[in-house]
Amino acid sequence: MTNLSETTVTSLKGIGEETANSLHAMGIYSVEDLLMHFPYRYEDYRLRDISEVKHEEKITVEGKVHGEPSLMYFGKKKSRLTFRFYVGRFLVKAVCFNRPYYKNKLSINDTITITGKWDQHRQTITVMEIHFGPFMKESEVEPVYSVKGNITVKQMRKFIGNALQTYGSGLESALPVSLLQKYKLPSKGDSVRALHNPVNQETLKHARRYFVYEEFLLFQLKIQALRKYKREQTEGLVHEFPKSKLERFIATLPFPLTGAQNRVLGEILGDMTSPYRMNRLLQGDVGSGKTVVAAISLYGAHLSGYQGALMVPTEILAEQHAQSLTSLFSETEVNIELLTSSVKGKRRRELLERLANGEIDILVGTHALIQGEVNFKSLGLVITDEQHRFGVEQRRVLREKGSNPDVLFMTATPIPRTLAITAFGEMDVSIIDEMPAGRKAIETYWAKHQMIDRVLGFVEKELQKGRQAYVICPLIEESEKLDVQNAIDVHDMLTHYYREKWKIGLMHGRLSSDEKEKVMEAFSENEVQLLVSTTVVEVGVNVPNATMMVIYDAERFGLSQLHQLRGRVGRGSEQSYCILLADPKSEVGKERMKIMTETNDGFVLSEKDLELRGPGDFFGRKQSGVPEFKVADMVHDYRALEVARQDAHDLLYSDSFWVDEEYKGLREMIEHSGILDGDKLD
Ligand code: ADP
Ligand code: MG
C-alpha cells in the first residue's frame, strides 16, 4: 500500500512545482497533509423555511419570480436591482447590488434559487448569489478552505477532490477496529471524505466524531505513555512507616477527614510507599482542606525518617502554613521551621545548619527554599502550594534538593480533570471534590458602583456584629504602582466614611514583609476590623472571623481569581457574604458576574471560565503545553476527551496493547513520537 505521508502532492494531477510551493507554505507536503487539510467552515446552501429564519440570518430559498425587476443606477458603477418573488406562499422582495446584468436573466414565473441575508422587518433578501433554476441538492453544503498565496478555494477543492479520488481508499486508521466498533465510528476514509464533502449534517457529525476521538486518543496515549515511562524509569525513594502511627495522628485531628480527603491521601501515600517517584497534582477548591492532607503526608515522610518541605508563593502564606502545621503537629515531636527572606543573619545560619544536620523535620517557606545555600539532610517529600505560581524551573530546582524526593503540587485553581492532565502533561492528578461538612455557602451579590453607600452600610452591619471584612481594590493590569495607589485611595475613602468607628488596615505589595506580617497579624487578632487590600491576600489567608468581602471593579478579574479571592471568607461557622462591585460593559462580563452569584463550586466556575475564555487564555500564555487540535476542541468536546483519556489509560496498562496486531498502529505512533527516547525526561 502507498504510504500517503510519503507521497508528495506533485503526484496529483494539476499540481506542479509552483503550486506545490504554495502548498508547502501552508505546511502541506504530502498527499496525507492535503487530505487532512479540512475545511474551516461550510457554505450552507440548504433550503430553509422562511418563517423560521431569524432577522439578518443568511438563507437559501427557492422561489418564483413575480413582477418585473426594476433597476436603478447610482453614478456609473453602482446599481440596485429589485424584484419580487414567491417563496411558497410568501411574497418576498430581493435586492441585488451592482449586478445590473441579472435583469435580463429574470423573467416572470422563472424558478430561481437565491442565497442572501434576510431582513425580517422589510421581508427582503439582500442577494449574495442567484442560481437561475431550481435548487440543486448536490451543492447543499460546500467546504471552505483556508488558502494562502495564489491558491484559490476553488482550486483547493479540486486538489482535494483529486486526492480523494486517487488515494481516498488508501487511508488507514490508526484506531483498531474494536474501538471503531465500540463507539460506532465511521472508517477514517469515510470520515475524511465526509469532512470534505458532507452529504448532510448527520455524516458530518459522525466524521467529526471520528477525528475528535482519534486526535484525543493519540494525544492521550502520547502523554500517558510518557508519564508511565517516567514513572517506571525514575527511581524514587520508598517511604516506610507504621500505618498505625499515622492513623493515630489522624485521630488527633480536630475533625474527621472527608471522604475525598481520605481518597486523595490513599493516592498520595500509595505513591510515597511505592518505588516510583511521586509527581502528583492535588487539586481542591479553596477551603476543601488541602493543608491537612499535606500535613498528614509530611508526617508520613517524617515517620519514614525523611524531611519534608512545603513551598508557597508568598510570605504571608508561608507564615500561615507554618502556624497551621505547628498547631496540627502540637501533639507530636515534629520540628517545624519557617524560612523566608526575612530570616536573616545568625538566625538564618543556625536554621540552615539545623536543617543540614536533620534537626528540622519540616521546612516551610517561600522560594527562599530553593536557594543554593539551603541543604537538607534527607529530603523525602516536597509539597508546593499554589503550584501554578511557580515556574517549571523553580519546581525542578526544588525537586533536586533531595535525591529523588516525592513531589506533590497543590492548587486551588480547579481545572477540569482532563484539562489538568493535558496542561500538566505527565503528572498524576488527585482531586478533593468535597467540602468539609457544615460549611455555609457564601452568598454573593453583584452591585453597581453607584450602590456603594448601600454596600458600605451592609459592611457596617457585619462589623457591628463583631465580624471583619475585606475590601479588595481595583486591579490595574501591568501597574503594581497604580494598584497600590488605588488601595491607598480606597483606604482613605473608607477611613473618612467610617470615621473613627473601625480600625482599617492597608495591605499591598509595596509593604515590606515585616509590615505585611504586622498588618496580617492585626487583622487575624481582630485589632483591625476592615482590611483594604490589593490581590496579595489572594491565596491561602485564613481569618475565620472575616465574613464579608467587597471586590471593587470585579469585572477586571477572571472567574478563577474572583473565586480565589472570595475563598478568604466563608471559613468560619458564620454566614459570609461577597459583594462584587462592577459595571461590566460586555455581555461576557455580565455573564461572569452572574455566574459568580450563582455558584460556589470552583469546578463549575473553571468550566465556565474555560468556555468564556478558551483554553489558551485559561492556562495563561506561559502554559504552552496546551496542544492544538485540527478538528477537536478541548472545551466543546470535553466528554470525548474524558473518554479518550480513560481508554488511553486502559490500553497502556493492558498486556494486549503491547503485543496484539490490532494495536500496532498505535504502538508505532508512540514509538515514533520519541517519547521513549528519554530526551523528554526533565
Ligand atoms: P485549602 O484547601 O483552601 O488549603 P485549608 O486546608 O486551609 O483549605 O482548610 C480550610 C479549613 O477547613 C481549615 O480551617 C481546616 O482546619 C478546615 N478543615 C479541613 N479539613 C476539614 C474536615 N475534614 N472537616 C472540617 N474542617 C476541615
Ligand atoms: Mg491552602
Residue 421, pLDDT score: 61
The Å distance, Cα 325 to ligand 2 centre, comes to 12
Residue 528, pLDDT score: 95
Mean pLDDT of 542-553: 92
Query: Which atom of ligand 1 lies at the shortest distance from residue 438's CA?
Result: 25
pLDDT band (50, 70, 90) for residue 387: low
Mean pLDDT of 579-589: 90
Any ligand 1 atom below 6 A from CB of 90: no
Residue 442, pLDDT score: 93
Any ligand 1 atom below 6 A from CB of 412: yes
Mean pLDDT of 399-424: 73
Out of 257, 285, 288, mutate this one to test ligand 1's pocket (max ligand atoms within 8 Å of CB): namely 288
pLDDT band (50, 70, 90) for residue 306: very high
Is the pLDDT at 374 greater than 80, yes or no?
yes
Most confident by average pLDDT, 168-177, 477-486, 623-632: 168-177
Say if CB 41 and CB 62 are below 8 A apart.
no
Nearest to 613 by CA among 560, 666, 655, 547: 560
* Distance of alpha carbon 19 from alpha carbon 16, whole angstroms: 5
Mean pLDDT lowest among 130-144, 420-434, 607-621: 607-621
Per DSSP, 639 falls in state H
Per the structure block, which three cell numbers stand in for 408? 506533590
Average pLDDT, the chain: 86
Per the structure block, which three cell numbers stand in for 439? 460549611
Is the pLDDT at 622 greater than 50, yes or no?
no
Mean pLDDT lowest among 260-269, 271-280, 422-431, 461-470: 422-431
The Å distance, Cα 303 to ligand 1 centre, comes to 23
Residue 583, pLDDT score: 92
The Å distance, Cα 293 to ligand 1 centre, comes to 9
pLDDT band (50, 70, 90) for residue 620: very low
Which 3 state secondary structure label does DSSP give 557?
A: coil
Per-position b or e across 647-658, b if 16+ CB within 10 A of its CB = bbbebbeeeebe
Any ligand 1 atom below 6 A from CB of 30: no
pLDDT band (50, 70, 90) for residue 395: low
Out of 255, 257, 316, 565, mutate this one to test ligand 1's pocket (max ligand atoms within 8 Å of CB): namely 255
Q: In three state form, how does the secondary structure of 383-394 look? A: EEECHHHCCHHH
pLDDT band (50, 70, 90) for residue 156: very high
Residue 680, pLDDT score: 43
Mean pLDDT of 659-674: 84
Any ligand 1 atom below 6 A from CB of 283: no
Ligand with smallest separation from the Cα of 384: 2
Most confident by average pLDDT, 266-270, 601-605, 642-646: 266-270
* Distance of alpha carbon 357 from alpha carbon 477, whole angstroms: 45
Out of 292, 320, 383, 442, mutate this one to test ligand 1's pocket (max ligand atoms within 8 Å of CB): namely 292
Is the pLDDT at 477 greater than 80, yes or no?
no
Per the structure block, which three cell numbers stand in for 58? 443568511
Mean pLDDT of 322-328: 93
Which 3 state secondary structure label does DSSP give 424?
A: coil
Residue 582, pLDDT score: 93
Mean pLDDT lowest among 52-66, 206-220, 537-551: 537-551
Residue 137, pLDDT score: 62
Residue 296, pLDDT score: 97
More confident residue, 612 or 502: 502
Is the pLDDT at 231 greater than 70, yes or no?
yes
The Å distance, Cα 334 to ligand 2 centre, comes to 20
Per the structure block, which three cell numbers stand in for 564? 480565589
Residue 528 CB neighbour total at 10 angstroms: 21
Query: Which atom of ligand 1 lies at the shortest distance from residue 294's CA?
Result: 6
Can you say whether residue 122 is alpha, beta or left, with left for phi > 0 and alpha for psi between -120 and 50 degrees?
alpha
The Å distance, Cα 151 to ligand 1 centre, comes to 61
The Å distance, Cα 328 to ligand 2 centre, comes to 14
Any ligand 1 atom below 6 A from CB of 288: yes
pLDDT digits (tens, 9 = 90+) for 639-663: 888 899 889 989 999 999 989 988 9
Say if CB 42 and CB 141 are below 8 A apart.
yes
The Å distance, Cα 174 to ligand 2 centre, comes to 44
Any ligand 1 atom below 6 A from CB of 287: yes
The Å distance, Cα 436 to ligand 1 centre, comes to 7
Nearest to 283 by CA among 404, 399, 418, 398: 418
| Residues contacting residue 161 through CB under 8 Å, at least 6 positions apart | 196
pLDDT band (50, 70, 90) for residue 614: low
Most confident by average pLDDT, 42-51, 193-202, 576-585: 576-585
Any ligand 1 atom below 6 A from CB of 286: yes
Q: How many helices (H) and strands (E) does the chain have?
A: 21, 20
pLDDT digits (tens, 9 = 90+) for 11-70: 888 888 888 998 998 889 999 999 999 998 888 777 888 888 888 888 889 999 998 899
Any ligand 1 atom below 6 A from CB of 261: yes
